[in-house]
Amino acid sequence: MSEMNHPLQQLYQAVSERVLGQSRLINRMLIALLADGHLLVEGAPGLAKTRAIKVLAEGLEGDFHRVQFTPDLLPSDLTGTEIYRPQDGTFHFQRGPLFHNLVLADEINRAPAKVQAALLEAMAERQITVGKVSHRLPKLFLVMATQNPIEQEGTYPLPEAQLDRFLMHVSIDYPDAATEKQILELARREMGDDTSDLEASPPLVRQHDLFAARQAAMGLHMAAPLDDYLVHLVMATRQPAQYSSRLANWIQYAASPRATIALDRCARAHAWLAGRDYVSPEDIQAVAPDVLRHRLLLSFEAEAAGVSRHDLIRELLQVVAVP
């Protein structure tokens, strides 16, 4: 493990002690920080999605804000608005919650299209435009959006353009019985505690350390055959008949070039967190499901046959030859 990785490893351990049974989600949040991208997290209520990013924010040098998305939310509730000052007859821009470093967009699919469009600009351009003026967002800016897979009434499906802006789509599930017991014990210990160890101590990871870690992760060695492997994974979604007849029947919409870039960045971050100075095929395979899950559309035939995106990506990883 490199010396630069040490603060992030401390942060991973600290978050893991307070968010039990979601080690994969914690790993993906750190990958998003290193790869400078955004997360879409899908899971049933009560699986510590909100708790995970809140605890992560406590260990980072930066601020955190949670926004509960509802059908009556307005774009200005996210971006901010111009406030008139009668004393001098001028307008002053009051910044909204998107100007924080870490933003939790809770139940993002409950907000209407105008709100999602405002969030899309912030995620894609790292700026917010109000009137004729554009305001830059902080250099450290991560959106973690959540959505509930159970309730679909009163929701607005995210458009494909916005889904593609998310670096990864992470799907989480219920913990096992042993972890459930540990969660119960942790909840009992936390009753009556006003502050956590992370809240009472200085940030474990300073922003300049995180930015240096980003440069180190993106500078890891990736052999030329792995570049080809990464590209072939994406090309197999566009020309599936050349790889598998099942892929050809299952895929309606292929992955964009943004998927290739995301695979590269996430694989590098995954390898760096594992303490290696090179990228392996296993790093690409480990992040491929979360990078591609929201970028592929199943055909009608696949849905009728009960094929899931998980099945599609598993077939993809099987038919594309590993170097």
Helices and strands (H, E) in the chain, number of each type: 15, 11
Q: Is the pLDDT of residue 268 over 80?
A: yes
Pair (180, 33) in one structural domain: yes
* Mean pLDDT for the stretch of residues 55-65: 92
Strands (E), 31-161: 39-42, 64-68, 80-85, 90-95, 102-106, 127-130, 133-136, 142-147
| pLDDT band, residue 262 (cuts 50/70/90) | very high
In whole numbers, what is the pLDDT of the chain averaged over residues? 89
Last residue of a domain, one of 191, 211, 231: 211
The reported pLDDT for the residue numbered 24 is 93
pLDDT at 3: 45
Q: Do 243 and 313 sit in the same domain of this protein? A: yes
For residue 301, pLDDT over 60 is answered with: yes
Q: How far apart are CA 112 and CA 218, in angstroms?
A: 36
CA distance 197 to 16: 13
Q: Percent of the chain at pLDDT above 90?
A: 63
Looking up tokens 């303490």, which residue turns up? Answer: 275
Collapsed DSSP state (helix, strand, coil) of residue 72: coil
More confident residue, 150 or 300: 300
- Indicate which CATH number applies to the domain containing 110: 3.40.50.300
In the prediction, which pLDDT does 196 show? 56
Is pLDDT above 80 for 201?
no
Alpha-carbon gap, residue 64 to 47, rounded angstroms: 20
DSSP 8-class letter at 285 = H
CB 254 within 8 A of CB 299: no
Q: Please state which of the ranges 77-86, 116-125, 143-152 shows the lowest mean pLDDT.
A: 143-152
Q: At what angle do helices 281-292 and 309-319 cross, to 10 degrees?
A: 150
**196 and 254, same domain (yes or no):** no
Biggest CA–CA distance in the chain, Å, is 71
Please tell me whether residues 240 and 196 are part of one structural domain: no
Quote the number of domains for the chain.
2
Amino acid at 59: G
In angstroms, the CA 166 to CA 171 distance is 13
169-196, pLDDT tens digit by residue? 999 999 999 999 999 998 888 887 655 5
Q: pLDDT tier at 198 (50, 70, 90 boundaries)?
A: low
pLDDT above 70 covers what percent of the chain?
Answer: 94
Domain coverage including residue 109? 3-211
pLDDT value of position 154: 61
Does residue 237 register a pLDDT over 90?
A: yes
Instruction: Count the neighbouring beta carbons within 10 Å of the beta carbon of residue 4.
Output: 15
**For residue 243, is pLDDT > 80?**
yes
Residue 234 predicted with pLDDT over 60: yes
Same domain, yes or no, for 23 and 79?
yes
* 114: confidence class by pLDDT, cuts 50, 70, 90: confident
- Residues 312, 169: one domain? no
pLDDT of residue 2 exceeding 50, the answer is: no
189 and 60 belong to one structural domain: yes
Residues 138 and 223 both lie in one domain: no
Instruction: Clarify whether residues 200 and 258 are in a common domain.
Output: no
Whether the predicted pLDDT of 109 surpasses 70: yes
* pLDDT over threshold 80, residue 86: yes
In order, the DSSP letters of 43-57 are: --TTSSHHHHHHHHH
Q: Are 205 and 256 within one domain? A: no
Judge if 298 and 203 occupy the same domain. Answer: no
Q: DSSP code of 126?
A: S
| Residue where one domain finishes, among candidates 211, 245, 264 | 211
Q: Which residue has the tokens 């990506």?
A: 313
**Residue finishing a domain among 165, 181, 211:** 211
Is 253 found in the same domain as 180? Answer: no
What mean pLDDT comes out for the span 290-312? 93
| pTM metric for this prediction | 0.91
CATH assignment at residue 236: 1.10.8.80
Q: What are phi and psi of 156, to 5 degrees?
A: -120, 110
Mean pLDDT of 230-236: 95
Q: Which of 215, 40, 283, 60 is nearest to 144 (CA)?
A: 40
